[in-house]
Amino acid sequence: MKSTKKVFFQLFLLLIAVSFLVFILHTISGKELKTIEARATYDVSTATRGDLLFNEFYQTFSTADSTSFLQKLGKSTTKESAQWSLAQLGSPDYPVNAYIIEYVTLNHAGEKIPCSGVVLIPEKTDSAAMPLLIYQHATIMTNGTAPSVSIQKSSGESNTLAGAFASEGYVVAISDYVGNGQPNCLKYPSEYLYADSEAANGVDILIATQHLLEQLKLSTNGQLFLSGYSEGGQAVSALAELIQNNYPQYPVTAAVFMEGPYNMNAAMNNFLETPGGVIMDGRPGGSLVCAKAVYAYQQIYNWGAMDTIFNKPYDARVEKNFKNPTTPLIILASNYPKATDNMFTSAFLASAKDGDVSQDIAANNTDDWVPQMPVTFLTSSEDGLIPASVTENAYEKMLAAGGNVKMSYTQYPLNHLQNYMQAIAQSKGIFDSYVNAQN
């Protein structure tokens, strides 16, 4: 018994020593382990869309940090794609100041609510004005990968955009979207793949970023760029349409739409009809996307009880998993079938194919407007999650209607996850051409 107590005491002392060592190392490195705490609930009833409710300077990322972010991203793709992308992106020029913000936006019901996000600002020694990029992020399955959360782990899209764009002179703003991000925002349901709120979240963080820059006595050079990948491709198309139609005071210099589900019916049917399901990185990608999207749409469009949509046990499982935005990805990945259609009732599948559900889904298509701004579509012939045909059809539809659109493909034909890095590099090359032309 004494020897057992002695072992436990030694383990206790070891734990204290390790904790102290971690504290010392972070103190020496100048990096604080920071948690953004929940603040008092905001009364936004009398606020204006885009009002800046809160902003907190989070951290300055050095040029070495930015290089590290991009090198880490290179591990998500092939060796030749990583090498090519790094060469295109070049070396960072500036440290980057990261701010976590909360601002006023709208949900699907038109209610004003708080939304969080990240603003990345290059730390320049001169007073030169900077171009502004509004970036719409890709699908996140758990809140730990929301831009304003994952930046604290140096592991998300915020860090990629810091390395690829902000460190080379761009101001970058990234919304978490409704129902994601900081504690004040998590009490509102996620509106995943709901185009109207994605667009509203994007334009409102644009306005909030302008307020932040005014506070910091900084300015942009008047150039406004828009981009987004995957869900963000759909979201940025919705945002671009909203700005073009309703916000002429924010003329868009150029936009790049990257591998998005512009036709939601086509994208959903791909998930449902692919034999064996759509698998991404060993996970049931198609099933997870459908489960999260259908759960969000069910609340927005009042599709009825969960057991009229999902077969058992998914009727209860989907609500439990996706009502909680912090459900770990490892739990999600292990609880859904590879064959997506196995989750749904036959009645729901029929309605999703050609019925009321299909019409509701189609309301989130973002391929039915005519861009006047320069738009480049970017895709890959090997994307199994969002097939190239979805992008090609959107491009052809807009072109036929007189849209100012171009079609391009990633340097190497890779899958949806592997394409991300080279898509970011190619989009930056497009935007740089406009910046260089103005300079």
Predicted confidence at residue 53, as pLDDT, reads 95
At residue 320 the predicted structure's pLDDT band, cuts being 50, 70 and 90, is very high
User: From the CB of residue 326, how many other CB atoms can be counted at a distance below 10 Å?
Assistant: 9
Tokens of 419: 């394409």
Per residue in 381-417, pLDDT (tens digit) is 999 999 999 999 999 999 999 999 999 999 999 999 9
Topology annotation, domain 52-263+365-438? Rossmann fold (3.40.50)
Please provide the average confidence, as pLDDT, over all residues in the chain: 90
According to CATH, where is 1.10.260 located in the chain? 266-362
Per residue in 75-90, pLDDT (tens digit) is 999 999 999 999 999 9
Q: Any long-range contacts for 208-211 (C-beta under 8 Å, 24+ apart)?
A: 208/50, 208/51, 208/52, 208/101, 208/103, 208/104, 208/117, 208/173, 209/101, 209/119, 209/132, 209/134, 209/171, 209/173, 210/50, 211/50, 211/51, 211/52
Per residue in 48-64, pLDDT (tens digit) is 999 999 999 999 999 99
User: From the CB of residue 41, how many other CB atoms can be counted at a distance below 10 Å?
Assistant: 10
- Give me the half-sphere count of Cα atoms (radius 13 Å) on the Cβ side of residue 325: 25
According to CATH, where is 3.40.50.1820 located in the chain? 52-263+365-438
Residue carrying the six token digits 């092939």: 78
Q: Which residue has the higher pLDDT, 17 or 62?
A: 62
Alpha carbon separation from 377 to 256, 280, 312, 389 (Å, rounded): 6, 22, 39, 12
Per residue in 268-314, pLDDT (tens digit) is 988 888 888 888 778 898 999 999 999 999 999 999 999 999 999 99
Predicted confidence at residue 14, as pLDDT, reads 43
Reply yes or no on whether the pLDDT at 35 is more than 80: no
**Four-residue CA torsion sign, 299, 190, 367, 418:** negative
DSSP state of 340: G
- How far is the C-alpha of 158 from the C-alpha of 174, rounded, in Å? 7
Predicted confidence at residue 16, as pLDDT, reads 39
E strands, 162-306, are 171-175, 220-229, 254-258
Residue carrying the six token digits 């007073």: 127
Residue 151 DSSP SS3: helix
Per residue in 227-268, pLDDT (tens digit) is 999 999 999 999 999 999 999 999 999 999 999 999 999 999
Asked if residues 426 and 165 have their Cβ atoms less than 8 Å apart, the reply is no
Written as one string, the DSSP assignment of 119-134 is EEEE--SS---EEEEE
CATH of domain 266-362: 1.10.260
- How far is the C-alpha of 240 from the C-alpha of 37, rounded, in Å? 33
Kindly report the pTM of this predicted structure: 0.90
Q: What is the mean pLDDT of residues 214-219?
A: 94
| Max mean pLDDT range (3-7, 24-28, 153-157, 252-256) | 252-256
Reply yes or no on whether the pLDDT at 428 is more than 80: yes
Alpha carbon separation from 150 to 133, 142, 181, 307 (Å, rounded): 19, 11, 9, 34
